[in-house]
Structure 1
Amino acid sequence: MKFTLATLLLAPLALASAVPRERKMTYAGYKAYSISTHHNPAAVKAKIAKFAAIPFNLDNDEHLDVAIPPEEIAAFEQLGFETKVLHEDLGADIAEEGNFAPYESVGAQAIPSLTWFNSYHAYNDHRTFFNDLQASFASQSEIFTIGKSYEGRDIYGIHIWGSGGKGSKPAIYFHGTVHAREWISAMVVEYITYNLLTQYATDTAIKAIRDKYDFYILPFVNPDGFVFSQTTTRLWRKNRQPRSGSTCIGTDINRNWPYKWELTGGASTDKCSETYKGLAAGDTPENKALVAFTQTLKNNKGIKLYIDWHSYGQYILLPYGYNCAARASNNAAQTSLAQGLAARIRQSYGTSFTYGPSCSTLYQTTGSAPDYLTDVGGATYAWTIELRPTSNSGSGFVLPATQILPASIEQWEGMKYLLAAV
């Protein structure tokens, strides 16, 4: 039997995709490993295909990251792989991560406290926090929605402007949490939003950036998946859209953009796969809304910079994902900016980020947001940033709450450099 990514993921993900809402998966006793492949991932995949492994990252040439159920740990370890442990007890780490600090609305009377970034939070609290933050700067910002998710939730964002007035400047356009389990991405996007608003009146560098661009920031472009990851299956990735003829739920919104969607090798046609691309390009309600809004920005003042925030791996990924030989026409300028961004990020805590074209640096993707933004949306720069931790150490998607602020601070410092340089 030929083991492909799709066949390896089929059994555990079919189960996870069909989990009913009332059953919460605890991951109790699961142990997560990063397996060194020695550049032969196919051999590793073949050996672990018999296990009910939950994949973290199975696209990397150097290491594969998986969680193994407790009853299979002994047999897995007998295979003798070279491994690093990501979680001794994944369930215990998820339970600790899920101790959300309650949020009390301050309305327009006060700016929300930075203590928000000491904890992860329930989805409804995120919405309240964003509304409170905007209300404190009502003359410089507005909350907007671009459409509805499959389950009817608003896909909301904040528009921030400077002295030129609303909608007068080219767009800086940020997305967070397209993949539901990547909780840190929402927190980082919110931290950047917080500082753009609160430092405008006191920091001349931030004022110059705000006066040069309009900011459009969407912290949750996959709200249904995020809620499901909080209530039922922590490692859920896709949206929550069912497909006829299958019990598996969900499409990868970041493989559904209507550009190079039809190419093979960068997404899956298997409805149970983590990277299921959909039945047709742009056929998810979330993507339809995102495409329409992107075109609105393009047709207004244009898009200067787009960033899609993800975790994990510590990468700054430039166009393109669909072809490992393809390069953007301004690739030299993009590479120089990415190098500068990585250097600025490193100054805060010594965190190293790898940078380069997405396909050749990490892996192939088709129907992805940065490729669409580059060649269809007309963005001067369109990147993916994969946040903490690295791919073969740390904690994978379940990043401890103590790392929220460091992860956010280093990105904010990097953004101050990048936004001044573009």
Structure 2
Amino acid sequence: MFVRTITFLTLGALCLALSASAFPGQQVFRHKGGIHSVPAHVVAENENEKPIRFDGHRVLTVMTGSEEEADHVAKIVEELYLDLWTGPIDISASSSSIDIRVPPALLSVFTSLLPPHLPVSVKIPDVQKLIDSTSNFILGKHEDDFFKAYHTYEDIVVFMKKLAKEYTFVELVNVAKTYEGRDVIGIKFTGVNGTDAYMKKNGVELKKGVLFHGGQHAREWIGPVSHPSTFVIALTAFHHPPHLIRLRYILIEQATLTYMMHNLVTNYGKDDRITRAVDAVEWTLVPVFNVDGYIFSHTRNRMWRKNRQPNTLPFCSGTDTNRNWDYSFGKEGASNNPCSEAYHGHDPFSAPETKSLSEYIAAQENLISYIDFHAFSQLCESGFLIWVGMFPFGQCDELPPKRDFDDLTEASQRATKALRSVHGTSFASGPICETIYEASGSGVDWVYARSGVKYSFAVELRDKGEYGFVLPPEQIIPSGEEVLEAVLTLVEYIVEREEL
């Protein structure tokens, strides 16, 4: 989800002293009077005329045994614009297992730049074959079949419209606008039981509200539909060590949100615990925030992350919307290189998606919680998957006030314990700058600091790396079960702590 800062050097001046002639697969461009060079796979993966294939792309595992070795691998990954499938690379660790996607044209270059004594093995021999083996967008005949596959944005919208039509307490909402002019659709709902008593007790016209969304990064499919085996929950802010490079993501967030909304809506009035939660707060759930990028990841490039907004370099499109928010913009953990996966955009809120969603959030005076679902940060320890609870902010010199800090800590610990109770997954929690890495311009930072939404989180969903971004659909339901349990526990804590 979060990528290290990369200074925007003129693209023809790649480090490691690699010239175009010595760097197979590199392409050279003339643009606005300058000469730029970039690996051919970067140009190909920005192609929007035909679907991109990843035939022959391998995921390699590199084992490092020292800080110097990890630092060296990190620099190679950065300079060759490779995909880091595990991360961040912790250069302070005594040893690291680093998974990297390498295009066939760069395989010999990559391996030749590695110190010869470093062990290298093949984790995934062909990424395209893995994608083909797990592709499934077929909608089944039965209601439960929806959560046995990943779906297009059109299918997800139809799913939400069906809920709004069948349940009178559910309404469709439009929370943002994309660069290509699409509406960002979600649903809003709250229960009717006890509403009058709630209003009388609290003396307000509106219940407190929660807003959860997925799909800020396009390829993280599982967020909108369910959730993989585990995730990292980050309370507003993100930190990384100096050589965090590129993280890629799996089919996670879109799956989580649709699974959640289906269970909350259809079980209201049937399940006592869900009924209490739906009665207690107003829920707004948005499965896909980066709609343009999500559609592009289905139709053109399965690994696409950013939005689809053009940049100054014609062959490097897109802004990382989770680096474009107007809080600590452009600092550590973001890039000013348009070809970077973590490109923060030319100005805060230069992406229409972040600008319009921030305006929607600012107008919701009743919000008390916000969750931004992400995927596949691959923070695994001893083979266990982790939900890591992290606190504000994205820069290490900031922390929330003590009461907020304590409440966020308690909320995170309760949620992780609840999630673990479902399928026995192990979890951890702690401040972000100590637990992961730095990042700037993220949504959770802005929502907490600028809009005053106390219980703001980012949730990282992932598996242990066996499938990387291409998580099998059969993991959707068990993952969704864990996330729903954690979210219900979180809302129950908020109701208790804030005396709602």
Q: Among 183, 188, 191, which residue is 2:221 paired with? A: 183
Does the C-alpha gap of structure 1 residues 133 and 88 become closer, same or farther in structure 2, counting only changes over 3 Å?
Answer: farther
> Structure 1 residue 174 and structure 2 residue 241: aligned?
no
Q: Does 2:209 correspond to 1:135?
A: no
Q: Verify: 1:31 aligned to 2:66, yes or no.
A: no
Kept after mapping to 1: 8 A contact 2:45/2:52? no
Stretch moving more, 241-250 or 271-280? 241-250
Aligned partners of 1:270, 1:116: CA distance in 2, in Å? 39
Hey, what's the Cα distance between the residues in 2 that align with 1:162 and 1:10?
54
Q: CA deviation at 1:102?
A: 3.1
Mapped to 1, the partners of 2:164 and 2:363 lie a distance apart of 22
Aligned to 1:65: 99
- Deviation sequence 1:103-155 (CA, Å, 0-9, x none): 67xxxxxxx70210101112211111111122221x21100112321111111
2:154 counterpart residue number: 124
Describe how 1:371-390 pairs up with structure 2 within 5 A: 371-390=445-464
Summarize the Cα distance change of 1:10–1:63 in structure 2 as closer, same or farther, 3 Å threshold.
farther
Partner SS for 2:439: coil
What's the % identity of the aligned pairs? 30
Is the contact between residue 176 and residue 221 of structure 1 (CA under 8 Å) also seen in structure 2? yes
How much does 1:324 deviate? 2.1
Deviations 1:310-341, CA, capped at 9 Å, x for gaps: 10134444332421242222212212221221
Q: CA deviation at 1:246?
A: 4.1
Unaligned runs of 5+ in 2: 8-13, 16-36, 91-95, 200-204, 223-252, 379-385, 495-500
Shift of 1:404: 1.1
Q: Deviations over 1:284-317 (max 9, x none)?
A: 11011110011011x2x2x221111010134444
Contact 1:56 1:66 in 2 (8 A): yes
Per-residue deviation, 1:100: 1.3
How far is the alpha carbon of 1:76 from its aligned partner?
A: 5.2
1:274 counterpart residue number: 341
TM-score if structure 2 supplies the norm length?
0.75
**Using the alignment, how far apart are the partners of 2:324 and 2:391 within structure 1?**
17
Counterpart AA for 1:26: R
Change (3 A) 1:290 1:82: farther
Q: Deviations over 1:83-108 (max 9, x none)?
A: 6755232111111232311367xxxx
Mapping for residues 393-404 of structure 1, pairs under 5 Å: 393-404=465-476
Alignment partners' CA distance in 2, 1:350 and 1:82? 32
| Higher deviation after alignment, 59-68 or 276-285 | 59-68
Distance in 2 (alpha carbons) for counterparts of 1:379 and 1:86: 41
- In the other structure, the counterpart of 2:391 is 319
Cα distance between partner residues in 2 of 1:245 and 1:28? 26
Corresponding position: 1:248 with 2:316: yes
2:282 — aligned with what?
214
1:159 counterpart letter in structure 2? K
1:258 is matched with 326
Alpha-carbon RMSD across the aligned residues, in angstroms, is 2.7
**Larger CA Rg, structure 1 vs 2:** 2
CA distance in structure 2 between the partners assigned to 1:36 and 1:321 by the alignment: 31
Q: Deviations over 1:12-60 (max 9, x none)?
A: 67425531x2221111122213444455532112345675733435533
- Equivalence for 1:97: 134
Match of residue 352 from structure 1: 426
Aligned mates of 2:460, 2:485 — CA distance in 1: 16
| One-letter code aligned to 1:100 | F
Counterpart position of 1:304? 368
Of the two structures, which has the highest relative contact order with CA contacts closer than 8 Å and spacing of 6 or more? 2
Distance 1:83 1:341 in 2: 38
The Cα offsets for residues 338-362 of structure 1, whole Å up to 9 and x where unpaired, read as: 1221122122222223322333311
> Any conservation in 2 of the 1:294–1:377 contact (CA below 8 Å)?
yes
3-state SS of 1:275 partner: coil
Letter in 2 for 1:65: D
Mapped contact 2:208–2:282 kept (Cα < 8 A): yes
Comparing 195-204 and 80-89, the one that deviates more: 80-89
1:159 to 184, 188, 200: 188
Distance 1:246 1:84, change over 3 A: same
Write the deviation string for residues 224-261 of structure 1: whole angstroms up to 9, x where unpaired: 00111111111110000002354310000000011111
**Normalised TM-score (structure 1):** 0.88
